[in-house]
């Protein structure tokens, strides 16, 4: 049966409030909802099994915790020359291949039921956020935009340039496409140029100032190609992937000496059975955390590696190493969206064109992103449920009344689908930094995370400049066809203020003051990172400082978000480090043979 899609064409100008509701829903959707679908039709890998089938004891050369965006790239690479086990808490993206199709992007992201691919968390700043919980990680639920880190980034982190290039190419060969750019994105791109985000750099993966079209992990038919597809590169004889394997703890050989050594991992299957897996007896073997920006520091803490007083206060025993920087330096690039109802319905797109400004705000957009009202309602019910569950540890600054009002308004009317168009700006960096803390000792629960959005004035200035640019794009000649003539940017900003885009207080001044608007309307762009930063928790080889046989390789190690969007570099890092580790391993064995 054909579903009715709400259209702003049939609800012209009069009802801005009503329009606001629709637009709002869009928020989550729009912003990142502008892409494709998923053709995960490759079937099951022979080496992929449910954790309930795992023996209670096994040993491997590398135990990878998290089969996400970096984890899959790393596992596929290491399996070329070593025995690898991947422990992933989520299920397989191939079980429901259409769920990450372009048209399902929003619905999958908003599906926050207990075993879904999208795990809701709400930061102490009062901003809704999402963690991936599926093989392939964030690449299964994200907006699919693919773009590399800038040359200066690669230089700063001291990666080896040629190896970086080869690693990006390895990813691109398997997953990445040039998007088919149509009307809305073309107008957006031309609007960016009119607004002064020059020059036009055409289609490129490179991170360079100006306006460009980037890559996408959605193919021409709108099917998503995820990091899980990188496992096609794996040596099937050397790898085992357990799904629904929730890692509880890493164990260490020494608890009192100066350098503890990781040797065992405990994971739980869906029947509640605990399994032990150990490193085979070889000094090159390692446990590698790729559990993401939240999962990796969280598991370190639960395993007794973190700020000692904090771990002791939560009853974590034994404390293996007092590591004050674990969970520190968490960053989430703030996003400010503006929804723009369009009189001209068009094909759906997620991020395709992007403006890379010299003032370090990245401007992206998408259109005709659809989301069912029913799911929206369930999402907000889920938000309230999470808030109830965590009320004792959640900041009192968080306001729930806007959600309650919003749910009532949903009940009064809109029952079908909404379609949203919008632009948003992402603050590069960011400079503002936060931290993670335990709420309890359950690895399946979210820890408490504070990002401190806009604590640093430079982030706020970038946001303001970014919004000014978006306003110019909305008012540009190129974009005329895609907005109602009497809907000004000011009207759109005011709409945004009336929507429950977050759980933060609103100030009257934000109607007139873009700085206050940024603060009141902050959302996540889902590029959060940090928590196990290089130089603070891991060294430049991603080895955990002060501990043997343990590395962290994922987005938690970043000091700032790479490129306009991070997934290309997260996957690249998995491949890059996999190659590096294999080289070290080969050199060690050669040395042993010769000795």
Min dist. Cβ of residue 556 to ligand FAD (A): 6
Q: Which helix H or strand E contains 29, and what residues bound it?
A: helix 16-32
When CB distances to ligand FAD are compared, the closest residue is 68
The yes or no reply on residue 137 touching ligand FAD (CB under 6 A) is yes
Min dist. Cβ of residue 87 to ligand FAD (A): 5
Alpha-carbon distance of 293 to 545, in angstroms, equals 17
Q: How far is C-alpha 491 from the geometric centre of its chain's CA atoms?
A: 31
The yes or no reply on residue 101 touching ligand FAD (CB under 6 A) is no
130 vs 521, which CB is nearer to ligand FAD? 130
Strand 353-356 with 361-372, pairing: antiparallel
The yes or no reply on residue 92 touching ligand FAD (CB under 6 A) is no
- Order the strands of the 550-552 sheet from edge to edge: 48-50, 239-243, 84-87, 62-65, 286-289, 550-552
Q: Pick from 36, 138, 179, 382 the residue near ligand FAD by CB under 6 A.
A: 138
The yes or no reply on residue 107 touching ligand FAD (CB under 6 A) is no
The yes or no reply on residue 247 touching ligand FAD (CB under 6 A) is yes
Measured in degrees and rounded to the nearest 5, phi and psi for residue 3 equal -90, 145
The yes or no reply on residue 348 touching ligand FAD (CB under 6 A) is no
The yes or no reply on residue 65 touching ligand FAD (CB under 6 A) is yes
The yes or no reply on residue 141 touching ligand FAD (CB under 6 A) is yes
Min dist. Cβ of residue 2 to ligand FAD (A): 27
Alpha-carbon distance of 23 to 41, in angstroms, equals 33
Residues 513-552 that bind ligand FAD (CB under 6 A): 526-527
For the chain, the helix, strand and coil percentages under 3-state DSSP, each to the nearest 5: 35, 25, 45
Among 456, 84, 364, residue whose Cα is nearest residue 233: 84
Q: Identify whether the C-beta of residue 123 lies closer than 8 Å to the C-beta of residue 452.
A: no
Alpha-carbon distance of 49 to 136, in angstroms, equals 15
The yes or no reply on residue 218 touching ligand FAD (CB under 6 A) is no
The yes or no reply on residue 567 touching ligand FAD (CB under 6 A) is yes
Alpha-carbon distance of 533 to 298, in angstroms, equals 13
Min dist. Cβ of residue 224 to ligand FAD (A): 11
In terms of DSSP H, where are the helices of 69-228? 69-78, 105-110, 138-141, 151-156, 161-175, 183-194
- Does the active-site annotation cover 44? no
Measured in degrees and rounded to the nearest 5, phi and psi for residue 476 equal -75, 160
446 vs 469, which CB is nearer to ligand FAD? 446
Min dist. Cβ of residue 480 to ligand FAD (A): 27
Q: Give the interface segment with ligand FAD, choosing from 44-52, 288-296, 382-390, 580-588 (CB under 6 A).
A: 288-296
The yes or no reply on residue 500 touching ligand FAD (CB under 6 A) is no
The yes or no reply on residue 297 touching ligand FAD (CB under 6 A) is no
Min dist. Cβ of residue 118 to ligand FAD (A): 8
Candidates 22, 35, 527, 529; catalytic one: 527
Min dist. Cβ of residue 408 to ligand FAD (A): 27
The yes or no reply on residue 26 touching ligand FAD (CB under 6 A) is no
**C-alpha dihedral, 51 to 56 to 59 to 60, nearest 10°:** 0
Q: Give the interface segment with ligand FAD, choosing from 15-23, 47-55, 159-167, 567-575 (CB under 6 A).
A: 567-575
Per-residue contact flags (x/-) with ligand FAD for residues 111 to 130, judged by CB under 6 A: -------------------x
The yes or no reply on residue 93 touching ligand FAD (CB under 6 A) is no
Q: Pick from 132, 428, 537, 550 the residue near ligand FAD by CB under 6 A.
A: 132
Alpha-carbon distance of 61 to 285, in angstroms, equals 5
83 vs 244, which CB is nearer to ligand FAD? 244
Q: Give the interface segment with ligand FAD, choosing from 131-139, 182-190, 253-261, 386-394 (CB under 6 A).
A: 131-139
The yes or no reply on residue 351 touching ligand FAD (CB under 6 A) is yes
The yes or no reply on residue 566 touching ligand FAD (CB under 6 A) is yes
Q: Give the interface segment with ligand FAD, choosing from 139-147, 218-226, 373-381, 578-586 (CB under 6 A).
A: 139-147
SS3 letters across 124-143: CCCCEEEEECECCCHHHHCC
DSSP bridge pairs for 256: none
Q: Give the interface segment with ligand FAD, choosing from 184-192, 200-208, 445-453, 563-571 (CB under 6 A).
A: 563-571
Question: Is residue 425 classed exposed, middle or buried when 0-12, 13-18 and 19+ CB atoms within 10 A define those classes?
Answer: buried
Residue 441 token pair: 């000792």
Q: Identify whether the C-beta of residue 288 lies closer than 8 Å to the C-beta of residue 265.
A: no
Alpha-carbon distance of 450 to 149, in angstroms, equals 26
- What are the strands, taking DSSP E only, across 167-295? 200-203, 210-213, 215-216, 239-243, 246-252, 262-268, 274-279, 286-289
The yes or no reply on residue 185 touching ligand FAD (CB under 6 A) is no
Residues 446-465 that bind ligand FAD (CB under 6 A): none
Peptide bond preceding 580 in cis form (omega within 30 of 0): no
The yes or no reply on residue 67 touching ligand FAD (CB under 6 A) is yes
Q: Pick from 91, 191, 210, 295 the residue near ligand FAD by CB under 6 A.
A: 295
By annotation, the residues acting in catalysis are 527
Question: Which chain residues interact with ligand FAD by CB under 6 A?
Answer: 32, 65-71, 87-90, 109, 130, 132-134, 137-139, 141-145, 245-247, 290-293, 295, 299, 351, 443, 526-527, 554-555, 565-568, 570
């Amino acid at each position: 049966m054909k579903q009715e899609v709400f259209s702003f064409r049939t609800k012209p100008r009069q009802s801005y409030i009503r329009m606001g509701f629709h637009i709002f829903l869009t928020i989550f959707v729009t912003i990142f909802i502008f892409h494709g679908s998923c053709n995960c039709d490759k079937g099951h890998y022979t080496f992929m099994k449910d954790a309930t089938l795992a023996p209670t004891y096994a040993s491997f050369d590398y135990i990878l915790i998290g089969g996400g965006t970096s984890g899959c790239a790393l596992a596929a690479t290491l399996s070329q020359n070593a025995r690898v086990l991947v422990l992933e808490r989520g299920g397989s993206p191939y079980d429901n291949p259409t769920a990450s199709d372009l048209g399902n992007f929003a619905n999958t992201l908003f599906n926050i039921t207990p075993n879904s691919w999208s795990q809701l968390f709400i930061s102490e700043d009062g901003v809704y956020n999402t963690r991936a919980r599926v093989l392939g990680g964030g690449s299964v639920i994200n907006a699919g935009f693919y773009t590399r880190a800038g040359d200066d980034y690669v230089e700063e982190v001291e990666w080896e340039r040629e190896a970086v290039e080869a690693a990006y190419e390895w990813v691109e060969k398997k997953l990445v496409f040039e998007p088919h750019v149509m009307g809305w994105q073309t107008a957006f791109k031309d609007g960016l140029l009119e607004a002064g985000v020059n020059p036009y750099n055409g289609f490129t993966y490179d991170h360079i100032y100006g306006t460009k079209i980037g890559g996408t992990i959605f193919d021409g038919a709108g099917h998503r190609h995820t990091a899980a597809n990188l496992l096609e590169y794996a040596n099937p004889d050397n790898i085992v992937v357990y799904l629904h394997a929730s890692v509880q703890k890493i164990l260490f050989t020494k608890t009192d000496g100066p350098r503890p050594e990781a040797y065992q991992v405990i994971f739980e299957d869906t029947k509640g059975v605990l399994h032990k897996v150990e490193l085979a007896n070889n000094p090159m073997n390692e446990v590698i955390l790729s559990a993401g920006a939240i999962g990796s520091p969280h598991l370190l803490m639960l395993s007794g590696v973190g700020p000692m007083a904090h771990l002791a206060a939560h009853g974590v025993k034994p404390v293996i190493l007092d590591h004050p920087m674990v969970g520190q330096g968490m960053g989430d690039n703030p996003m400010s969206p503006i929804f723009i109802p369009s009189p001209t319905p068009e094909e759906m797109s997620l991020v395709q064109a992007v403006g890379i400004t010299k003032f370090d705000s990245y401007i992206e957009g998408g259109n005709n992103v659809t989301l069912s009202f029913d799911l929206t309602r369930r999402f907000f019910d889920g938000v309230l449920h999470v808030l109830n569950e965590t009320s004792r540890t959640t900041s009192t600054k968080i306001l729930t009344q806007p959600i309650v009002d919003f749910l009532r308004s949903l009940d009064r009317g809109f029952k079908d689908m909404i379609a949203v168009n919008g632009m948003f700006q992402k603050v590069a960096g960011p400079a503002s930094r936060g931290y993670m803390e335990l709420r309890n000792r359950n690895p399946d629960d979210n820890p408490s995370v504070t990002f401190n959005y806009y604590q640093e004035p430079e982030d706020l200035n970038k946001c303001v400049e970014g919004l000014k640019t978006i306003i110019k794009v909305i008012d540009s000649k190129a974009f005329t066809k895609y907005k109602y003539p009497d809907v000004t940017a000011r009207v759109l900003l005011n709409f945004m203020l009336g929507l429950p885009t977050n759980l933060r207080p609103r100030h009257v001044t934000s109607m007139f003051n873009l700085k206050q608007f940024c603060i009141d309307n902050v959302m996540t762009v889902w590029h959060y990172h940090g928590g196990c930063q290089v130089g603070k928790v891991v060294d430049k080889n991603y080895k955990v400082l002060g501990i043997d046989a343990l590395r962290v390789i994922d987005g938690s190690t970043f000091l700032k978000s790479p490129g306009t969007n991070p997934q290309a570099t997260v996957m690249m890092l998995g491949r890059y480090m996999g190659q590096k580790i294999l080289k070290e391993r080969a050199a060690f064995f050669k040395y042993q043979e010769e000795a």
